[in-house]
Structure 1
Amino acid sequence: MRERLLSLLLRTKRPPLWLGIICGALCIAAEAMLSLFLERVMSGDFLGGIYLLGVLLISIQWGLGLGLATLAGSAVAFNYFNLPPEWSFSYGTRGLWTPIPIFLLVGFAISSIAALVRSLNIQAENRRHEVDLTAQLAHVLLRTKDLKAALQPASRLLARAMEAPNLEIRLEELPGEEHAEALPLVENGVRVGTLVLPVGVPEPVRRRLRERMVPSLETLLRAAHDRENTETVLASSRDEIHRIAQEQAALRRVATLVARGISSAELFNAVAFEMGSLMKADHVAINRYDPGHVTVLGSWSWQDGTEKVLPLGSRWPLNEVSVSATVLKTGCLTRKGSYEQSGGKIATWVRKMGVTSTVGSPIIVDGCLWGVMLVFSSAREPRFEGVEERIMDFTELVATAISNAQARADLASSRARVVAAADETRRRIERDLHDGAQQRLVSLGLELRAVEDGVPPPMTELREQLSRAVDGLTGVVNDLQELSRGIHPAILSKGGLVPALKALARRSALPVELELEPVPPLPEHVEVALYYTAAEALTNVAKHADASVVYVTLGMAGASVRLSIRDDGCGGADYGKGSGLIGLKDRVETLGGRLRVASSAEEGTSLSVVIPIVMTPIVTVSADQS
């Protein structure tokens, strides 16, 4: 209650003057009546304090001027009603005038103190309002992402609080206007905005704006500028981090494909897709340099329809003006815009696709220019600014994949040559044994048999010796035939794989159960690999497995032939325990197949071979020695 009364008495907005005059007159009248009532119990000299209450009230509400006027009226009423002679004014006796100066002096002091209290209260209220206004302006200016959009509500808020209509906050300097005044807003020597004041704003408001609000506005606008710049930097950083994360993820996916050793066509198309998605390009092509032209090995396009994609295997000339030709000449990353002034097959395709910019990055393999990666865009605004590092990262992965493919191709070719040389050596040894030593031993046996027939009957001991020699020679011929048959079985060349496996089963020291499905005619190198795998496996089972039976299965698995050999022995087969399995594995993998061995004491040993009948051609890569 007391706080509400004080706020009512000390309110900053001054009531109308006419109301103050009426209130002053009413206060004097009420004080006079009260003094006449109290005059019965107290001396008239002390009744002047009653008249000071109205002076205090009027001074607090209407200021010092009206308070002094009320003081003068109160002094007249005090003299007239309470000082002797009562109900009249006294001019002759000096002592009667003594209370009046004291009354006026005390009343003046009370009026001054009341006016000062009012002034201090007004200043405190103004400070509080300014603080609240600054907080509201900070809420408006610092919580928005667009500072320009926040200036209008901030201007309305400031204009309403300062009672200055059409007041405006701007970021730019004020152009020459006749009906406005500009207050520059400067923070640390940097202009951060302008406060525009319309003509007609009272001078106290102007002074208050200059002294109180301008510094706060300068600080707020500077903080808003800093916040906006910080938001921009953070947004740019977030975009950059997101871009780097996408780029690294794409590079990891491509690196994984490179490590897996997938086919070149799949890899190139995957790289084109990742590059196009990352760069937001319209078309991407990976081309290899060939004499006089480039060949498309991988391509991608965001548009549907095969006509939008550069066909795989298509060739494009190098004697025209193009990015590919420029990269071939310079060996550096190249950009090109419009092809409007160019002619030829490439320029026609570019104009048809609406391409507005092209970037080409060289693909360097083993120090030589192998090809070029082309990125096309149909956007009006350039998209490929600052992309050199990203493109080069992908081209380096492509170069690594090509180098790996070349190394794998060279390794496969080398292994194939070794296997082919070994097979040829086997055939030559088998042929030499059959046509050379075996034939000579057979001839020698026939000659000894003829000599035996010509020995006279009485020479029985000599006949028996010749007969034993002929029998021993026949055994040597048989052993030589078996050896020749193991080097390269003639039945494999004459009858095929199935009869050769049956012959192996018949000669095996252990029972062999065959499950041989009909298979189409197989290439000779595939039959030889399967035959020697079966022969080596049966030999190992007989020597080491201590098995009771061997199961041999032959059949088709899609486009591949599958051979499985399983026993019920003691297990223990391992690649590291001998060169036989390693040699078989090399022979099978040379043909693009797989050899798996599973061996345990509980289940025995299982060996499986899968070889594709139609070999996937190894992609040959050649570097242009330009």
Structure 2
Amino acid sequence: MQERLLSSLPYTKRQSFVWGIVCGAVCIAAEVVLSTFLSRLTPGGFLSGIYLLGVLLISAVWGLWPGLVTLLASAIAFDYFTLPPLEAFSPGENWRWTPLPIFLLVGLATSLIAARVRSLGVQANERRREADLAVQLAHILLGAESLSAALPPASRLLARGLGAPNVEIRLDEVPAGEHGEALPLMENDSRIGTLVIPADVPKDVRIRLRDRMLPSLEALLRAARDRESVRAVLASSRDELRRIAQEQATLRRVATLVARGISSTELFNAVACEMGSLMKADHLSISRYNHDHTTVAGSWSLREDARKVMPLGSQWPINETLVTGMVLRTGRPARIANYEEASGTIVKWAHDMGVTSALGSPVIVDGSLWGVVLAFYNRWEPRLEGAEGRMRDFTELIATAISNAQARADLAASRARLVAASDETRRRIERDLHDGAQQRLVSLGLELRAVEAGVPPGMTELREQLSQAVQGLTGVVEDLQELSRGIHPAILSKGGLAPALKMLARRSAVPVELQLGSVPRLPERVEVALYYTAAEALTNVVKHAHASVVCVTLGVTGATVRLSVSDDGTGGAEYGGGSGLIGLRDRVEALGGKLTIMSSAAEGTSLLVMVPIEN
């Protein structure tokens, strides 16, 4: 309410003295007319208050001196029109009477009070405007993105609000000159800005700026600077958190690829793509050290043109002055920011690609330097500082992938050697049985037949005993032949997998439905693995499944041969428990294949084997 009242009063700092006198004359004229009219109703002494109205108004609006002039004029009019003798100015006679001095004293007090009220109103109005101006300045300084961008509009607002053109708020220190004054804006003992006041600014405005606005500006500038600092810290923290989140997501994707055990080429290319995108690089390569050169194992380029990427398998000489040479020499991350003074094949490639800088991180596998990750940039930016540390996590994953791949390769080679040794042992036993014990037993049977033929006719009992011995020996030979065929059937070597599966089907105690596609001759170890898988599966069906029928399907899709053995038995087959499936799985996986078992009580057992033909 008080603000509205103060704002509604016509307080101004500068009012025309002439207009004050003119308005005072008008007020006195109106007072004379009003007092003349009221003199008929009331005694003249009571009309003195009417002549004080103009004094009150002029003092309140135009100040003390126009009010005093109006007071003197009102006293003359009061004496002339109100005090006897009427229409005669006789201050000497009227001074003896009380009304005229009382009028002057009351008028003087009224003028002083009104002028004081006016002064207080002007000050209150100025303070209110200054408060409004401070609020608007706070909106500008605290709402802008940066303090430097907020100072020009804040300076214009300050100049417009105070009526002081060219007043300026600056952050730097400005020396005082002939054409103005530079007021320092301080925080404790340090300067945080400068308020520049031109020389043509009125003195009262200069005083207001120095005494009342300067502390507010210092507080606002401190708050704006602190807010900018907090915003910068928050933005930096937000960017850092976003970068960390991106790195963690990228590392998870790379770790997933490592865990999946994909091929080295696919893995290195995927890692190069992930690292290149995260590191904001223009080109990235993963290379392996080989004596005096490096071999590219994976690469990525920001450009879509595939010719710009370092070709896989390409070899690049090691230059001692470049990143590959520095990493090889020190075993630590290295960088180069200028290719102008270097020479060599990779430098020519860098010039063609517009590369100006590069950084590299070593790949350590089992304590030895395996290779290097190189990130190439067409421009060097400050945000790339510390990028070597961010590359370290990826190089550790690459080392893990290489170790895992090597372990898998060693395991596969070990399995393959075991399977090959087992197959060779089977074949050797088969040859030994066929060429050794089996031939001796056949020879022994022939000798017994010769002895039987030479027995005299009267020795019937001896002839029968020899005949039984020969028959028993023939059965042993047949059993031995059957055992020999089980170790490594000759039909598998001569006819291939399809005839061997037909032979297994004929010998099976459970009816077998064969679905054999057009299958060419396969590598020997693939045929042996599939044959023994089918034989073991049929043996398990006979022993455990209680099935009524077995379906065996063989086919080739692309570069993969597919064998399926399904029955309608009781199910429940699983690895372990003496089923022999673990050995089959090892044999299949040694060839790079996969063996899958699905077994349930309602649907029986289904065994699926997929083996690559080329491995």
TM-score (norm 1): 0.93
Find the residue that maps to 1:97 and give its secondary structure.
coil
Q: What do the CA deviations read for 1:242-282 (whole angstroms, capped 9, x no partner)?
A: 22222212111111110100000000011111111111212
Find the residue that maps to 1:576 and give its secondary structure.
coil
Question: How far apart, CA to CA, are the structure 2 residues paired with 1:613 and 1:536?
Answer: 21
Shift of 1:149: 2.9
Q: Which residue does 2:404 correspond to in 1?
A: 404
Q: Which residue does 1:389 correspond to in 2?
A: 389
Q: Which residue does 1:69 correspond to in 2?
A: 69
Q: Which residue does 1:518 correspond to in 2?
A: 518
The answer as to whether partners of 1:90 and 1:96 remain within 8 angstroms in 2 is no
Give the number of the structure with larger relative contact order, counting CA–CA contacts within 8 Å between residues 6 or more apart.
1
Q: Which residue does 2:493 correspond to in 1?
A: 493
The answer as to whether partners of 1:10 and 1:118 remain within 8 angstroms in 2 is no
Q: Which residue does 1:168 correspond to in 2?
A: 168
Q: What do the CA deviations read for 1:268-302 (whole angstroms, capped 9, x no partner)?
A: 01111111111121211111112222111111111
Q: Which residue does 1:553 correspond to in 2?
A: 553
Find the residue that maps to 1:303 and give its secondary structure.
coil
1:123 correspondence with 2:123: yes
Shift of 1:91: 6.5
The answer as to whether partners of 2:360 and 2:388 remain within 8 angstroms in 1 is no
Question: How far apart, CA to CA, are the structure 2 residues paired with 1:455 and 1:315?
Answer: 85
Question: How far apart, CA to CA, are the structure 1 residues paired with 2:192 and 2:383?
Answer: 34
Residue type of the alignment partner of 1:355: V
The answer as to whether partners of 2:320 and 2:326 remain within 8 angstroms in 1 is no
Question: How far apart, CA to CA, are the structure 2 residues paired with 1:371 and 1:36?
Answer: 115
Question: How far apart, CA to CA, are the structure 2 residues paired with 1:95 and 1:260?
Answer: 118
Question: How far apart, CA to CA, are the structure 1 residues paired with 2:17 and 2:25?
Answer: 12
Shift of 1:89: 4.4
The answer as to whether partners of 1:10 and 1:121 remain within 8 angstroms in 2 is no
Question: How far apart, CA to CA, are the structure 1 residues paired with 2:346 and 2:429?
Answer: 59
Counting only pairs closer than 5 Å after superposition, residues 556-595 of structure 1 correspond to structure 2 as 556-595=556-595
Q: Which residue does 1:358 correspond to in 2?
A: 358
| Residues 354 and 6 of structure 1, relative CA distance in 2, 3 Å threshold | closer
The answer as to whether partners of 1:320 and 1:346 remain within 8 angstroms in 2 is no
Q: Which residue does 1:618 correspond to in 2?
A: none
Shift of 1:459: 0.9
Shift of 1:45: 3.1
The answer as to whether partners of 2:359 and 2:388 remain within 8 angstroms in 1 is no
The answer as to whether partners of 1:83 and 1:96 remain within 8 angstroms in 2 is no
C-alpha RMSD of matched pairs (Å)? 2.2
Question: How far apart, CA to CA, are the structure 1 residues paired with 2:133 and 2:319?
Answer: 73
Residue type of the alignment partner of 1:426: R
Percent sequence identity over aligned pairs: 70
Q: Which residue does 2:104 correspond to in 1?
A: 104
Shift of 1:497: 1.6
Q: Which residue does 1:273 correspond to in 2?
A: 273
Find the residue that maps to 2:540 and give its secondary structure.
helix
| Residues 72 and 306 of structure 1, relative CA distance in 2, 3 Å threshold | closer
Q: What do the CA deviations read for 1:292-328 (whole angstroms, capped 9, x no partner)?
A: 2211111111123333111111112236543212211
Residue type of the alignment partner of 2:296: V
Q: What do the CA deviations read for 1:344-396 (whole angstroms, capped 9, x no partner)?
A: 32332222322211111110011111111111111154663111221111101
In structure 2, runs of 5+ residues without a counterpart are none
Question: How far apart, CA to CA, are the structure 1 residues paired with 2:86 and 2:515?
Answer: 149
1:464 correspondence with 2:459: no
Q: Which residue does 2:607 correspond to in 1?
A: 607
Q: What do the CA deviations read for 1:46-66 (whole angstroms, capped 9, x no partner)?
A: 332222222112211221212
| Residues 9 and 125 of structure 1, relative CA distance in 2, 3 Å threshold | closer
Question: How far apart, CA to CA, are the structure 2 residues paired with 1:245 and 1:54?
Answer: 78
Q: Which residue does 1:537 correspond to in 2?
A: 537
Residue type of the alignment partner of 1:558: G
Deviates more, 1:458-467 or 1:66-75: 66-75
Question: How far apart, CA to CA, are the structure 2 residues paired with 1:61 and 1:340?
Answer: 81
Question: How far apart, CA to CA, are the structure 2 residues paired with 1:602 and 1:72?
Answer: 124
Shift of 1:481: 0.9
1:85 correspondence with 2:94: no
| Residues 510 and 51 of structure 1, relative CA distance in 2, 3 Å threshold | closer
| Residues 6 and 178 of structure 1, relative CA distance in 2, 3 Å threshold | closer
- Paired residues in the alignment total 614
Find the residue that maps to 1:370 and give its secondary structure.
strand
The answer as to whether partners of 1:357 and 1:382 remain within 8 angstroms in 2 is no
Q: Which residue does 2:289 correspond to in 1?
A: 289
1:307 correspondence with 2:307: yes
Q: Which residue does 1:620 correspond to in 2?
A: none
Deviates more, 1:80-89 or 1:239-248: 80-89
Question: How far apart, CA to CA, are the structure 2 residues paired with 1:193 and 1:71?
Answer: 51
Shift of 1:337: 2.4
Residue type of the alignment partner of 1:518: S
Q: What do the CA deviations read for 1:550-595 (whole angstroms, capped 9, x no partner)?
A: 2222211221111122222222222132241111111011101111
Q: What do the CA deviations read for 1:78-128 (whole angstroms, capped 9, x no partner)?
A: 233333333434467687333222221111111111111111111111111
Q: What do the CA deviations read for 1:149-193 (whole angstroms, capped 9, x no partner)?
A: 332222222222212122222222224532111111223333222
Residue type of the alignment partner of 2:348: T
1:251 correspondence with 2:227: no
